[in-house]
Homo-oligomer: A and B are copies of this chain.
Amino acid sequence: MSKIVPVVLCGGSGTRLWPRSRKAKPKPFLPLIGERTMFEATLGRCGDIEQFAPPVIVTGTAHLEHVEEQSKSAPGGTVIVEPEAKNTAAAIALAAGRLSADAVMLVCPSDHHIADEAAFRAAAAAAARLATQDWLVAFGITATAPETGYGYIRRGEPLEGGYRVERFVEKPDLATARAFLADGGYSWNGGIFAFRAGYFLAELAKHRSGLAQAAAASVSGGSEDGHRFYPDAAAFATIEPESVDYAVMEETDRAAMVQASMGWSDIGNWAALRDATDSDHDGNSVRGRAELVDCSGVFVDTDGPRVSVIGLRDVAIVVDGDEVLVTTMEGAQKVGKLGGAAKQ
């Protein structure tokens, strides 16, 4: 089997990890866990040259500098520079249009954490095998909590190394999420997909012909500049933004999934980051200078000032330049609505 082509999506201007994540430097480009940024870690996971070809990175001009700076360790990679953000269906279509029809692409968001890289590579290999058989393959992340913030995938009949997808389920309410977890037949949709490039484009053309044509025109009218590729801006501008989930995965009859149990987190807020970070025996995690007294489950991330904390439980404290955030873990989901996060 030929090597898998990682297609790494670098977009977004998330506010949920504000103030560390800012519009000018969002989540993928921050070293939130360990020494590497989440983008670097994504490239690193796909860095085994026995299994993976050099990556195709899809990003916007706003983040091109970060991408170039942080992808030096992925030689041979190419960068597709989107003129504007048009959601994932368009981004993947651009990458697919630049690859040979038989290339197997592995679509990877660049702002997720995966603790178990061996499990990731095994799932990628299984997904790639199904993709060569013209399945559109989603990673079904083994659900470990009744999360209401994720979409779910209902497993269907077994395939070799995976399953048919019976159906995709929108973000559920808590009671439904609990029922899914108890059922055992539901996984989280982690936004990681394996496709044969030609088959993806064929299915896209079948279900979203306008999007497929505009993406194809963007590629054919585009221009190369070294390792960068600039799609045709006029053609790209006509695209109606849509996620690959809606545009293709929920439409196709050929949706499959591989089960992936790999310590995955989308690090959707500071509480999720706390949970994904190594902690001491009191459950405290500290990055930067801090002193914690009588604390448990406290997360501190400071870019300079010392943070001294007394008596708190399950609180995140983030110091970033001229912003200080102090939030309960329950409150972490409201961070994006803070004035500072909204008006940055």
The reply on A330 being an interface residue by CB < 8 A is yes
| B residues in contact with A287, CB < 8 Å | none
Assess whether A326 is in contact with B331, with CB atoms less than 8 Å apart.
no
| B residues in contact with A323, CB < 8 Å | 305-306, 308
Which residues of chain A from 13 to 31 have any CB-CB distance to chain B below 8 Å in the complex? Answer: 19
Assess whether A327 is in contact with B315, with CB atoms less than 8 Å apart.
no
The reply on A334 being an interface residue by CB < 8 A is yes
State the Cβ distance, A281 to closest chain B Cβ, in Å.
20
The 8 A CB mask of A256-293 against B (1 = contact, 0 = none) is 00000000000000000000000000000000000101
| B residues in contact with A319, CB < 8 Å | 305, 324
Provide the bound-state CA to CA distance between A144 and B340, in Å: 40
Q: Number of copies of this chain in the oligomer?
A: 2
| B residues in contact with A327, CB < 8 Å | 308-312
8 contacts between A and B (CB under 8 A): A293-B334, A305-B323, A307-B324, A310-B326, A310-B328, A310-B334, A324-B324, A326-B326
Assess whether B326 is in contact with A315, with CB atoms less than 8 Å apart.
yes
- Residues of A near any B CB (own CB < 8 A): 19, 291, 293-294, 302, 304-312, 315, 317, 319, 321-328, 330-332, 334-335, 337-341
Provide the bound-state CA to CA distance between A309 and B312, in Å: 14
Given A312-B315, A315-B312, A339-B291: A307 and B326 within 8 A (CB)? yes
Provide the bound-state CA to CA distance between A323 and B322, in Å: 13
Q: In this complex, what residue of B is CB-closest to A291? A: B339
* Ranked 4 nearest A-B pairs via Cβ: A311-B331, A310-B331, A311-B328, A310-B327
Assess whether A308 is in contact with B291, with CB atoms less than 8 Å apart.
no
Assess whether B305 is in contact with A326, with CB atoms less than 8 Å apart.
no
Provide the bound-state CA to CA distance between A321 and B326, in Å: 17
